[in-house]
Structure 1
Amino acid sequence: MTNLPQPTEPQWTPNWGQAGRFVRPLYDTYGFARLPELVQALFSVPDAPVVGELLGPLAGEYEQVVLVLVDAFGWRFVERYRDDFPFLQRFFREGQVTRLTSQFPSTTAAHLTALHTGLEVGQSGVYEWFMYEPTLDAVIGSLLYSYAGDDATNRLAGSPLTPQMLYPQADHYQRLAEAGVRSVLFGDAAYTPSAFSSVVMQGAKVVPTGTFEDAVRAAGDLLAGARAGQRGFTFLYCGDVDYAGHQRGCESAAFSRAAARCFQQLELLQPALGRSKQRTLLLFTADHGMLDVDPARTLALDWAMPEIFRWLEPTRSGGYKVPAGAPRDFFLHIRPEYLDEAQQRLSTRLAGIAEVHPVADLIAQGFFGSHPPSEVFLSRVGNLVILPYSGESVWWWGGGRFRNKLTGHHGGLTPEEMQTQVLAFAIG
């Protein structure tokens, strides 16, 4: 493995928050949000600073770039399994290993949006699984394009909120196409294509497949059949490990089995890469990590602190703008006149469990990106956020509709959630 300057210990290790247990997200140095910039530069400006900073001696021109994202497989799991899976061993033995931080929130919605658009979370406005949408004056499920609490997709079809209004329209793949790069994105047929993909993946070819193994095989065929001089970007996404972690916990046998199956399937890429006559760069990353909580111990604010209803901003229909975020990053929409009181009372009640911070403070400190947040983001995000410590969760009961049933979680600022990586391996 080639050594490169990495995030310094103060950047990488927890040093933020009242108890110093949280990791600050990086954006303009060693941050996940730089990966779209890296992909663009590899095809257009191979000597751009981002290439050298993230890839070191592997910097250069490539005809094919393959990016594999295994959802939730952050740095702690790379370290745990690196000696078990040949796919990972190659990066450490012959490639480049660069540690990154996730964006905040450390959630799939924010990171997939960033990866496909090049927009940091504060610019894209898609910051969490559940978020308040002012067009509907309701909390919605962002990636499902449905109301919060709905398991089905596309329940917002026909509503005043179109996919083009919900998701950012960017030119990431159009720019690659203009540079002569064909982008092919493989996704699970259960949710591909979708309202989300119809907007953020414009300019790319989106290919639904039945299983992740099907996607890997199809990607291998695509790479093996590439013509000389043909340039391409291929994206593979595996959500199976994240799903197993959510359902059974990331310390479970089910999680280990899902990881083993995923990396065994990724081995199917190797023959195609070995036959390729093109200079190819294989990248591996994760949007975030994961940690376990006990769902039975999740503190439901509407039960534990009924006085919270006095502080919450109401909707026009007589409800409240809850719950936004997730059990590891609960964003509250508080009436401005009660903001100080709510922060103080919540901090007292949650002492030893979580910290409570004004969102304005996090914006000022660059937690949502290196650029000023967009008006769309500001219109959706709450003004107070609850950040639980490792192993804790704070959420909402809502008559059982929002009861936390999951063991594995992410979204917060702990090292387990925030530390991730990009691994690189060059072929040809």
Structure 2
Amino acid sequence: MTGAELQRSAETLAVPVPRYGAGALADLPGSVLASLGVPGAVDVLGLPAVPRVCVLLVDGLGWEQLRAHPDEAPYLAAMTGGPITAGFPATTVSSLGSLATGVPPGEHGLLGVQVAIPGTGRLLNCLRWQDDSVDPETFQPVPTVYARAAADGVKVAYVARGLYRGSSLSRATTRGADYLASDGPGQLVGRTRTALRRGDRSYVTVYHADLDAAGHQFGTGSAEWRFQLRFVDGLAQQIAAALPPGSALHVTADHGMVDPSERVDADTVPELRDGVALLGGDARCRYVYSEAGAHDDVLATWTAMLGDRAWVVSRAEAVDGGWFGPIGPGMLERIGDVIAVPHADLAIVASEREPWLNEMVGMHGSLVAAEQLVPLLSTSRP
């Protein structure tokens, strides 16, 4: 680090870093394996030992949003548990990677919605994965906990929409599990129940996306989002009622969400384009890839333009600060040279390059509690 970066690093020590190894989403898979008796697994989260485990991942169910709406989610509100941290960035791609591998984003390499493909000068959208030249099983090289459990004789299943089956992101994050396509709530509960009853030990992950979709389209303060939360609450209750004996249900999420009202448009502010080769990440976590020799200028400009509304740091500062956890081989170059993370009521959009993102109401990705904290709620059937 340069002297200036060391000074800036000291100034950013107050950034709330995810609790990797002590209470993060990446700690849940290993704790589940330990609860199932898989050798070598470590139960960081103190989960009870049971032969059957179901993890319900509700996309977009932040801890703060859940606590703010107890009337819409009475069953979830009554469950035992509390908050854990999602990981950085607080977004679906990164969290699905951690749920699949049991390691932080810096190790599995799914470091956000849009990341650089090193050495190509191109971005990869990890949700849409519109680049056949990038092999998902190479891009995300860490073995999954599903494969590890299956190797120990656990029956492993992943229950989600048929739309996602066989997608590149699913290949990166669900390999090792039997993918059970479920396109309605009845199917989802029924297939979860069946999967849990297979074999002497079973591990079932259920992924539900509708709450996140409502938040993006209407915002977390909307009636539509609150009604969808009611459906999620009912889903959790139905899965709990369908648990076979000797089962535990753990409900968690990949991130929370905020509804930023202020926007900075990188496509209409010339200063935010100067020296920038690629703009990746998301509206609440921007990866800025600078042109050769322009790094210091880009960092200074983005810092000046965003002021006290965002944490703007160099890649080295974020890595040294532990934002991503340990960095795996070849992963460093995927991260932007400059990282801009709004902590105020702000989204960094690019209206011309990303019109789909510019239209969203609810957003996520930052390190603030509303996006970073997710629930870990549990119930069991003896």
Same fold by TM-score greater than 0.5? yes
Give the drift of 1:22.
Answer: 4.5
Structure 2 distance, partners of 1:210, 1:45, is: 31
Opposite residue 116 of structure 2, the aligned amino acid is: Y
Post-superposition offset of 1:309: 3.8
Give SS of 1:245's match. helix
1:358 aligns with 2:322: no
Q: CA distance change for structure 1 residues 379 and 21 in 2, over 3 Å: closer, same or farther?
A: closer
Aligned to 1:24: 17
Aligned to 1:193: 166
Q: Which amino acid aligns with 1:77?
A: Q
Q: Which residue of 1 aligns with 2:182?
A: 209
**Which residue of 1 is the match for residue 283 of structure 2?**
327
**Cα 1:357–1:234 shift into 2, 3 Å:** same
- The reply to whether residue 114 of structure 1 matches residue 98 of structure 2 is yes
CA contact (8 A) 1:170 1:200 kept: no
2:4 — aligned with what? Answer: none
**For 1:254, which of 202, 224, 229 is the aligned residue?**
224
Report the AA paired with residue 246 of structure 2: R
- Following the alignment from structure 1 to structure 2, what is the Cα–Cα distance between the partners of residues 386 and 366? 16
Change in 2 beyond 3 A, CA 1:400/1:233: closer
Q: Which residue of 2 aligns with 1:4?
A: none
**Unaligned runs of at least 5 residues, structure 1:** 1-15, 147-155, 313-319
Secondary structure at the counterpart of residue 100 of structure 2: helix
Q: What residue number does 2:254 align with?
A: 287
Deviations 1:109-129 (A, max 9, x none): 001011112231001111111
Identify which of 42, 65, 68 aligns with 2:35.
Answer: 42
Contact 2:62/2:257 (8 A) holds in 1:
yes
Asked whether the 8 Å contact 1:136–1:161 carries over to 2, the reply is: no
Distance 1:343 1:262 in 2: 42
Q: Deviations along 1:151-193, whole A, 9 cap, x unmatched?
A: xxxxx23xx3222333324142222112221111101112223
User: Partner residue of 2:84?
Assistant: 100
Letter in 2 for 1:349: M
Choose the corresponding residue for 1:62, options 25, 50, 54.
50
Q: 2: distance between equivalents of 1:161 and 1:172?
A: 22
Residues 54, 249 of structure 2: 8 Å contact kept: yes
| Bigger Cα displacement from structure 2, 113-122 vs 259-268 | 259-268
Structure 1 residues 234 and 403: alpha-carbon distance in aligned structure 2, compared to 1, 3 A threshold: closer
Q: In the superposition, relative to structure 1, how do residues 403 and 80 fare at CA in structure 2: closer, same or farther (>3 Å)? A: closer
Q: Name the aligned partner's letter for residue 248 of structure 2.
A: L
Please tell me the root mean square deviation across aligned C-alpha atoms, in Å.
Answer: 2.4
Whether 1:374 and 2:328 are equivalent positions in the alignment is yes
The answer to whether 1:299 aligns with 2:269 is no
Give the % identical residues. 25
Q: Secondary structure at the match of 1:207?
A: strand
Question: Contact 1:135–1:161 at 8 Å: present in 2 too?
Answer: no
Q: Distance in 2 between matches of 1:196 and 1:280?
A: 28
Cα 1:234–1:402 change in 2 (3 A) is closer
CA contact (8 A) 2:72 2:226 kept: no
Q: Deviations over 1:384-428 (max 9, x none)?
A: 011112320112233665661101011011111111231122210
Q: Distance in 1 between matches of 2:10 and 2:360?
A: 26
AA paired with 1:103?
A: G
Report 1:206-285 matches (<5 A).
206-223=179-196, 225-226=197-198, 230-273=200-243, 276=244, 278-285=245-252
Q: Relative to 1, partners in 2 of residues 1:217 and 1:164: Cα closer, same or farther, differing over 3 Å?
A: same
Equivalent residue of 1:376, what SS?
Answer: coil
Structure 1 residues 355, 365: CA separation in 2 closer, same or farther (over 3 Å shift)? closer
CA gap 1:343/1:198 in 2 versus in 1, 3 angstroms: closer
Measure, in 2, the Cα distance between the counterparts of 1:226 and 1:302: 53
Q: What per-residue deviation string (whole Å, max 9, x for no partner) do you get for residues 220-277 of structure 1?
A: 2444x446xx11001111110000000110110010011111222332224322xx2x
Distance 1:265 1:45 in 2: 29
1:36 deviates by 1.3
Contact 2:66 2:73 survives alignment (8 Å): no
Following the alignment from structure 1 to structure 2, what is the Cα–Cα distance between the partners of residues 249 and 199? 29
CA contact (8 A) 2:160 2:181 kept: yes
360 and 175 in structure 1: CA distance in 2 versus 1, 3 angstrom threshold: same
In 1, Cα distance between equivalents of 2:198 and 2:309:
53
Scaled by the length of structure 1, what TM-score is found? 0.81
- What SS class does the counterpart of residue 293 from structure 2 fall into? helix
Name the CA shift for 1:420/1:18 in 2 (closer, same or farther; >3 Å): farther
CA displacement at 1:21 relative to structure 2: 7.6
Alignment partner, residue 311 of structure 1: 275
| Secondary structure of 1:44's aligned partner | coil
Distance of 1:21 and 1:79 partners within structure 2: 25
- Contact 2:51–2:202 under 8 Å retained in 1: yes
Deviations along 1:122-156, one digit per CA (max 9) or x if unpaired, are: 0111111111113643112112211xxxxxxxxx2
Which amino acid in the other structure matches residue 141 of structure 1? Answer: N
